[in-house]
Amino acid sequence: MAKETVLVSGGAGYIGTHTTVALVEAGYDVVVIDNFSNSEPSAIEGVEKILGRKITFEEVDTCDKEALRKVFERYDFSTIIHFAAYKAVGESVSEPLKYYQNNLVSYMNILELMKEFKRPNVLFSSSATVYGNAEVLPVTEQTPRQPATSPYGNTKQIAEDILRDCCNAYENFYGIALRYFNPVGSHPSALIGELPRGVPNNLVPFITQTAAGIRECLAVFGNDYDTPDGTCLRDFIDVVDLAKAHVAAVNRMVSGKMKEKYEIFNVGTGTPLSVLELITRFEKANNLKLNYKIAARRQGDVPAVWADTTLANNELGWKAERDIDDTLRAAWAWEKHVRGIK
C-alpha cells in the first residue's frame, strides 16, 4: 500500500521542521514547501540528518497561487498542514497590512486549491492567543474567544472562522485547528530548533541567547501581575510533543475518525509556569546563571493563560510527555550547536 502523503507549508520553520520529522517517523511521506522568508535552508538539512534521508522540498511562496498550483499538480496528497505565516506579535501591531496580506492570502490560496483539486483535509496551526485575557482558567475549547490583542492574533481568529465556514459549505472538506500554547525546546539531537532572526520575540530563545552571551540581559516584562510571583503564567509545551499532536490529528483525519467536519483542540501541558520559574528551571537544568532584570509590562501580554487538554488527550489519544527540564536542556544544546559553543 502506498504511503499517505502530507503537504507541509512553512515546513522549514520551527514547528514545521519538528512536525516533518514526526510525520516521517510515523510512516507518512512528506512534501515540504517554504520560501525561507523567516527560516533557513539549514533547517531542511537538519531534518534530513535526523531522518538519515532526503525529503521532498520545493521553494514556494504560498502567496504565489500559480506556484502553489504547480505543487498541487505535481503531488498527490489528501492532507495539508498549514504553518506558513508571519508570527511576530509586535511587528503585526506596527505593520498590520503586511500580516493580513501574508497570513490570509497564503491561507486562502491553499483552501481554494484544496477545493479545486478535491483534497479533503487541512490542519491549521492556530494559537492560544485567540483566547485573549480569558476570565476563567484553564481554557477549554469552549472558552469564548476574546477580541484579538494584535493583528497577528486576529489573523488566527479569522483563519479559524474561514476554515469552519469552508467545512460547513463544501462537501468532502474537513478541518482541524490546533491551538498551541507556548512551544519551547528543540529536537533532542540538537540538529533543529528555534532560529529567530534578529531580536527574539519568544522567551526561551532570549534566555538561550543571553546564556550564550549574544544578549547582554534578559528583560522580564512586569512583576506586578496578579500571579503567585508577579510574572506572567504560561503553558510551555515541548515542540517535540507539539509535533506529535499534529501526527495524531493527521491520523484522525485520514482514518475518517473525525466526529465533526471542523474540530478544535488545545495543545498544551495543562500546567502553568511563571516566567521567573522558567528562568530558574533553565538555570538549574543547565547549571548556569542568567543576567536578567525586571522591565515594564509589555503591551498585549495577558497575565495568565494555560490549557485544559482533556479533549486532545481523549479524542486524539495524545498527551504532553516531555519534562520541562529536559526541554530546557534541549533548548540550550540547540543554542550551543548553532553558536558552535562546546
As annotated, the active-site residues are: 152
DSSP letter assigned to residue 143: S
DSSP letter assigned to residue 318: -
Closest residue by Cα to residue 161 from 172, 148, 149: 148
CB 82 within 8 Å of CB 65: no
Q: Which residues contact 87 (CB under 8 A, 6 or more apart)?
A: 38, 152, 201
How many Å is the Cα radius of gyration of the chain? Answer: 19
Q: Is the peptide bond before 138 cis (omega within 30 degrees of 0)?
A: yes
CB 186 within 8 Å of CB 21: no
DSSP letter assigned to residue 144: P
Half-sphere exposure (Cβ direction) of 313: Cα atoms closer than 13 Å = 11
Closest residue by Cα to residue 296 from 208, 242, 222, 227: 222
Range list of β-strands (E), 216-290: 218-221, 233-234, 236-238, 262-267, 273-274
